[in-house]
Structure 1
Amino acid sequence: METLKMKDWGLGLGEQVVIAGPCSVETEQQIDSLCESFKGKSEINMFRGGVWKPRTRPGNFEGLGEEALPLLQKAKESLGIPICIEVANTAHVEAALKHDIDVLWIGARTTVNPFSVQEIADSLKGVDIPVMVKNPINPDMALWMGAIERLHAVGIRKLAAIHRGFADPYDKIYRNKPNWNLAMQLKLELPNIEIINDPSHIGGKASMIKDISQRALNFGMDGLMIETHPNPKEAWSDAKQQITPNELLSMLKEISFREKIDMETEIPANLKELRESVDHIDQKLIDLLSDRFHLIDQIGAYKKVHKLSVYQGARWQSVLADRIALGVKKDMSEKFMKSLLVAIHDESVKRQEKQIASKDATAKIL
């Protein structure tokens, strides 16, 4: 959609956005305690609080509902900063607007359902309010972009994305695997959109928040949304991934918000020279890959003539082990080498299959 290239995006909070507050609004005492800790702290730009909590299974705490909204109004008056909450349907939107909530976000479980997103979008038609969209649970770029497009189509212009990671049952490190490349792909598709990182949901553990936050900022993300609780061990939901206000403020002093530079006018001379060298090497890499794949085409043609299978397991395992070892000797990680080789091998298989399916494969054998 061409209209999504517009520059009227963003929350208007500056380049170092920090959104903090509890996973769930629980009690007046909890909110008062957080406000006391955050009062006068310019590092905190927005206060978040879970009102309706869509739990995976019933029986867990599902939020105070509309009862929590007056407590958030009180926090807004105390701190003098915007308040944001998650909404999942029209009733939530109406309650949020009635209680003067400043910013809404659509959660991962809602983003996966275009019907629900459209319902929310329709209920916001004609309303000038910022909306943030979390990535869907599964790594589906179309759903993420589709949710943003639906909101844009009804006139919502103050839009941002929240990167909270993606479900991966095989990943043992993260609660939700970051898949940084997908967040960066969204930025390529929508260059002017702000992306807020949610390290609490990505890590699932308080101990991981700092490192994930720094990496998000290294990737050029525009801010952080961090779950904060006065006593995380006693939290009514997601206790393991929340930190105290003091821990948050201390962490913000230790991490580094990266300066962004204009690609056309602000690149320092030394950096420009290094980038030009990288561009030159990239060109050579592409030329070498092109040469390699032309050889693969010939191998595919040979296999067709001699009725050989495309996949040769012993050969592939030998190449994989040898190239990984060579890469490690050249200061590249084993994980990177394996990912690179698997991508090249997948493309090689596809090209050989194409050769076998063609009618003139024999002509391509040297």
Structure 2
Amino acid sequence: MLVVLKPGTPATEIDHITEEVNQSLNVTIEKSVGKHKIVLGLIGDTATVDPFHIQKISPWIEQVLHIEKAFKRASREFRYGEASEVIVPTPNGDVYFGENHPVVLVAGPCSVENEAMIIETARRVKAAGAKFLRGGAFKPRTSPYAFQGHGESALQLLDAARKATGLGIITEVMDTADLAAISSVADIIQVGARNMQNFSLLKKVGAQNKPVLLKRGLSATIDEWLMSAEYILAAGNPNVIFCERGIRTCDDKYTRNVLDLSAIPVLRQLTHLPIMVDPSHATGKSEYVAPMAKAAIAAGADSLMIEVHPNPAKALSDGPQSLTPDSFDKLVKEISVFGKAVERWEETSLMPALV
């Protein structure tokens, strides 16, 4: 249930309304401050609550609404139709994810292999305009014999790249036992596709304060994806970013997965949370990354995650879908045209001008 307050409602009146609701209902109250509205979200069993019972508490209450969707906190209605933003502090300054901000570029290798490789990649993607370095320390792999990542030693290398470039760090958590070590280095903690419905893990990442990047499961419906985000939000962490990375369909002969671009406008209608797209994992082939990245920006994505490796042919994981640094430079120039067309592009002094 939502209690929408009138513009200019005094803080004392908000406290009064909150106290009155607490006394009459067994609910959790969460305040959401948007650009135009202040909304109190009543979380709990409110299905039988008469909105008029709440409305009469104060003349400062503009409207009382029931949220019919199962995903309460993630729903667009929870923000009274407004988008939220996820603000991530990095050594280079705060980075804003959200539909009212420029597209954020995230780039880097699938796996952290060695110090020289990760720092070289970080410097190149930063020069091209990336704000975050992605790199796997712990890697979920289909085969138990494939490279699983270097673990905690790779976290130290990510930290070195962060210090060398000022880029924010995104890396994946697979096990709750590793969460503390990862959160000490990562600026955003990624929950991968294979763990999207690992509810114990979702609760743990929701109980810590680093923003969470939630990748869509390989065969997950949008409702299932939204409910996974709800687990994180319900645990207390409001900073969740969705990441569409391709889903399984009946045809996987030509691409690794199928990039569901329609998920972008669907999510935009259903949720207030930011949306990232990973065309690298979706397509599985480097030659398809550019067209899908352009399409994602045109469809309204708030961020792109691109795999970049200095020598894809020798990459320990996901080489075929990785761009070289030179290819990434070219991609950024090309997608900047689309970003500017939708008025969501921020030029940087390091980014080469489009020629």
TM-score normalised per structure 2: 0.67
Any conservation in 2 of the 1:9–1:157 contact (CA below 8 Å)? no
In structure 1, how many angstroms separate the alpha carbons of the residues matched to 2:252 and 2:186?
Answer: 36
Specify the structure having the higher radius of gyration (Cα): 1
- Please give the per-residue CA displacement for 1:262-315, whole angstroms capped at 9, x wherever unaligned: xxxxxxxxxxxxxxxxxxxxxxxxxxxxxxxxxxxxxxxxxxxxxxxxxxxxxx
Residue 37 of structure 1: CA displacement?
2.1
Any conservation in 2 of the 1:34–1:230 contact (CA below 8 Å)? yes
Map 1:172-183 onto structure 2 (within 5 A). Answer: 172-183=253-264
Map 1:285-300 onto structure 2 (within 5 A). Answer: none
Letter of the structure 1 residue corresponding to residue 248 of structure 2: A
Tell me if 1:21 matches 2:108.
yes
In structure 1, how many angstroms separate the alpha carbons of the residues matched to 2:304 and 2:151?
Answer: 25
Aligned to 1:81: 167
Letter of the structure 1 residue corresponding to residue 290 of structure 2: K
Aligned to 1:36: 123
Listed as ranges, the gaps of 5+ residues in structure 2 are 1-70, 88-95, 344-355
Any conservation in 2 of the 1:217–1:258 contact (CA below 8 Å)? no
**Superposed CA RMSD:** 2.0
Map 1:130-209 onto structure 2 (within 5 A). Answer: 130-190=211-271, 192-209=272-289
In structure 2, how many angstroms separate the alpha carbons of the residues matched to 1:109 and 1:122?
Answer: 16
Any conservation in 2 of the 1:230–1:244 contact (CA below 8 Å)? yes
TM-score normalised per structure 1: 0.66
Letter of the structure 1 residue corresponding to residue 225 of structure 2: W
Aligned to 2:209: 128
Residue 46 of structure 1: CA displacement?
0.5
In structure 2, how many angstroms separate the alpha carbons of the residues matched to 1:148 and 1:125?
Answer: 9
Selected match of 2:186 from 95, 101, 107: 101
In structure 1, how many angstroms separate the alpha carbons of the residues matched to 2:243 and 2:206?
Answer: 22
Residue aligned with 2:73, SS: helix
Residue 260 of structure 1: CA displacement?
4.9
Listed as ranges, the gaps of 5+ residues in structure 1 are 262-366
Higher strand residue share: 2
Tell me if 1:50 matches 2:136.
yes
Aligned to 2:151: 65
Letter of the structure 2 residue corresponding to residue 3 of structure 1: R
| Number of corresponding residues | 255
- Please give the per-residue CA displacement for 1:104-163, whole angstroms capped at 9, x wherever unaligned: 11111111x3xx2x3223323543211111111014122211111100101111111111
Aligned to 1:274: none
Any conservation in 2 of the 1:93–1:120 contact (CA below 8 Å)? no
Aligned to 2:339: 257
Residue aligned with 1:160, SS: strand
Letter of the structure 1 residue corresponding to residue 205 of structure 2: L
Map 1:206-245 onto structure 2 (within 5 A). Answer: 206-245=286-325
- Please give the per-residue CA displacement for 1:237-259, whole angstroms capped at 9, x wherever unaligned: 11100011121012111122155
Any conservation in 1 of the 2:310–2:324 contact (CA below 8 Å)? yes
Structure with more contact order per residue of length (Cα contacts < 8 Å, sep ≥ 6): 2
In structure 1, how many angstroms separate the alpha carbons of the residues matched to 2:256 and 2:302?
Answer: 22
